[in-house]
Amino acid sequence: MKYSLTFALVLLIIIISLLNLFSSEKPDLEIFEGKLKKMAGEWFIISDGDFFQLNLAPEEYLKENNLTLTSKQQIKIEGITVDEVINVYLVHANDTIIELRDSAGNPLWQEEKQVGHFQINPKMCIGCQLCVSVCPTDAISMVHGRAIIDAEKCIDCGICENGNGDYKGCPTNAIKKLE
């Protein structure tokens, strides 16, 4: 009796492990087809009337893979949407498929540490534009009612997050320094 219980337990553990293995194999990628648009240094896709920011790969990685993006270019991408930003796994362009992330979502390029840079969570932004008016380098623009930071213009001064003078920082805490 004791042995059969142990056997059943071991069998159950094996079945659960196998189920976990198969379920974590591949994420369900959403497919988006539409036109590309570049605004404030960031890429967006307009697909079926919806507007999403794209989390692609560094320019160097795209160039190495002969992927040149232009505004108004018709494109198909596969990815996962997080807070209205699409983490792009695959790009279908010029009759080829370019892979940007593996099935676990890990980037296929050597990741540069983004620590210290500022980012705005689009879900928390209420579009008040206060951060836009205080940024000393005009790095923040409004896109479809939400603020975004152009990383190329940002000097990481932190004013948008922490405030300056009458501006006491983002009222919804949507701006965060990456740590």
The residue ranges that bind ligand SF4 (CB under 6 A) are 118, 120, 125-131, 135-137, 139-140, 147, 149, 154-160, 170-172, 174-175
For residue 143, the minimal CB distance to ligand SF4 (Å) is 11
* 96 or 137: CB nearest ligand SF4: 137
111 DSSP assignment:
P
Helix (H) or strand (E) holding 60: helix 59-64
Contact indicator for 178, 151 with CB cutoff of 8 Å: no
**Interatomic CA distance for residues 150 and 90, integer angstroms:** 24
* 86 or 149: CB nearest ligand SF4: 149
For residue 98, the minimal CB distance to ligand SF4 (Å) is 30
* 67 or 131: CB nearest ligand SF4: 131
For residue 39, the minimal CB distance to ligand SF4 (Å) is 15
**Interatomic CA distance for residues 80 and 77, integer angstroms:** 10
* 88 or 140: CB nearest ligand SF4: 140
**Interatomic CA distance for residues 99 and 50, integer angstroms:** 24
For residue 18, the minimal CB distance to ligand SF4 (Å) is 45
Give 140: exposed, middle or buried? Use CB within 10 Å, 0-12, 13-18, 19+: buried
